[in-house]
């Protein structure tokens, strides 16, 4: 290779390194989902730069920007105006589930990648349109769940599918919820749509049922359940008159079952999961420990042990680092917890669960 070619190669390498090191230009769509605090309070890590926020409620936007000492100049009244002025590479949606489709409608034709808060869409019709737009315009469309970033969940998946320690999955029980969104002090802007059957699609059945649907579909490697059965209640109709506040969803598979318990009535916050296989079980939550009991599928005297779980490494430990890595092509999401393959099925399960709760009958997928 002559000197000029070597020089050109060096320039290309330096240019590629500079592009890779450049932070993701990120826009925010909506401030009405209280999970928006996750990105607003996130310390600068050099991987993401907030270039603009779109929120029709100017008072709400200014209140949050001031709280987090962010410049008021970031604010725009509409997503279209924010995109035109700031040219983001990607957008995170922190508005109602019903509005997720609108965000993709606007962003996808412009080649802007999107990550929404859980779940992907309010119904399967919205989901299909969003997925078609993402595929047509070659953008990434991800769904963020808090439970994706629990190291115990990743460790459990490895025990099942890599080490084959538990054997085949037989039953999964997922508990998610808290005392209720009003009881724990969610903002009025969040409560307004979270307790609306159109904007949210339901109450606890959607708000917390989505976690179990996401985890079980992932554990089953994208397999759809045979049937979905759900029971809902309004234990506090005076507080939540329009939506359920208690839900249980049962998913059946040829050789496995999942029980998803979603509640706005737990006496404490919880997000934990029990996975039972042929040869043992594992109990996971957000801590850096997991409980494991293993055997050979015959003996019953295996002792339960507590295992310390190492923290996840970047960029798999944080939704925004992960999003940036996906947009830059460093990660290809294929049937992981954030992927379209998994989250399309999550929406199908939730829609079937709502239908089942109304008819009192199982729904076949």
Chain centre to alpha carbon of residue 6:
45
* 8 A C-beta contact, residue 92 and residue 28: yes
* 8 A C-beta contact, residue 283 and residue 291: yes
Q: How many CB atoms lie within 10 A of CB 334?
A: 10
Which residues of the chain register pLDDT less than 50?
10-19
What confidence score (pLDDT) does residue 14 get? 38
Strand 24-29 to strand 48-54: parallel, antiparallel, or no bridges (unpaired)?
parallel
* 8 A C-beta contact, residue 365 and residue 227: yes
Full strand arrangement of the beta sheet holding 246-253 = 305-308, 289-294, 280-284, 270-277, 169-177, 256-263, 246-253, 227-233, 363-364
What confidence score (pLDDT) does residue 44 get? 87
The torsion angles phi and psi of 74, rounded to 5 degrees, stand at -70, -20
The reply to whether omega before 315 is within 30° of 0 (cis) is: yes
CA of 330: how far to CAs of 92, 148, 321, in Å?
19, 18, 11
Nearest Cα to Cα of residue 329 among 29, 19, 88:
19
CA of 84: how far to CAs of 212, 250, 289, in Å?
38, 45, 46
Nearest Cα to Cα of residue 234 among 200, 195, 198:
195
pLDDT in tens, 276-334: 999 999 999 999 899 999 987 665 667 899 999 999 999 999 999 999 999 999 999 99
* 8 A C-beta contact, residue 284 and residue 156: yes
């Amino acid at each position: 290779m002559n000197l000029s070619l070597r020089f050109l190669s060096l320039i290309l390498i330096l240019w590629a390194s500079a592009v890779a090191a450049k932070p993701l230009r990120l826009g925010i769509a909506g401030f009405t989902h209280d999970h928006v605090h996750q990105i607003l309070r996130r310390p600068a890590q050099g991987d993401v730069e907030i270039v603009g926020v779109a929120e029709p409620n100017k008072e709400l936007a200014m209140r949050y920007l001031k709280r987090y000492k962010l410049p008021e100049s970031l604010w725009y009244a509409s997503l279209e105006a924010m995109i035109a002025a700031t040219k983001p590479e990607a957008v995170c949606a922190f508005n109602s589930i019903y509005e997720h489709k609108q965000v993709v409608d606007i962003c996808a034709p412009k080649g802007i990648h999107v990550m929404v808060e859980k779940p992907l869409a309010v119904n399967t019709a919205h989901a299909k349109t969003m997925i078609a737009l993402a595929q047509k315009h070659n953008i990434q469309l991800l769904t963020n769940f808090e439970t994706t970033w629990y190291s115990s969940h990743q460790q459990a998946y490895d025990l099942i599918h890599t080490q084959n320690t538990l054997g085949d999955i037989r039953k999964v029980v997922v508990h998610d919820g808290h005392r209720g969104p009003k009881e724990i002090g969610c903002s009025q802007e969040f409560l307004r749509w979270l307790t609306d059957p159109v904007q949210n699609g339901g109450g606890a059945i959607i708000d917390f049922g989505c976690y179990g649907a996401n985890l079980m579909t992932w554990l089953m490697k994208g397999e759809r359940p045979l049937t979905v059965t759900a029971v809902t209640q309004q234990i506090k109709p005076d507080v939540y008159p329009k939506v359920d506040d208690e839900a249980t969803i049962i998913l059946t598979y040829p050789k496995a079952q999942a029980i998803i318990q979603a509640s706005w009535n737990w006496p404490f916050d919880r997000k934990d999961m029990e996975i039972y296989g042929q040869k043992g079980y594992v109990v996971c939550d957000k801590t850096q420990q997991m409980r494991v009991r293993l055997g050979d599928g015959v003996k019953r005297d295996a002792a339960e042990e507590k295992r310390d779980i190492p923290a996840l490494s970047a960029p798999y430990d944080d939704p925004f680092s992960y999003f940036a890595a996906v947009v830059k092509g460093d990660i290809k999401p294929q049937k992981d917890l954030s992927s379209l393959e998994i989250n399309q099925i999550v929406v199908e399960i939730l829609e079937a669960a709502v239908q089942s709760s109304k008819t009192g009958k199982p729904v076949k997928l």
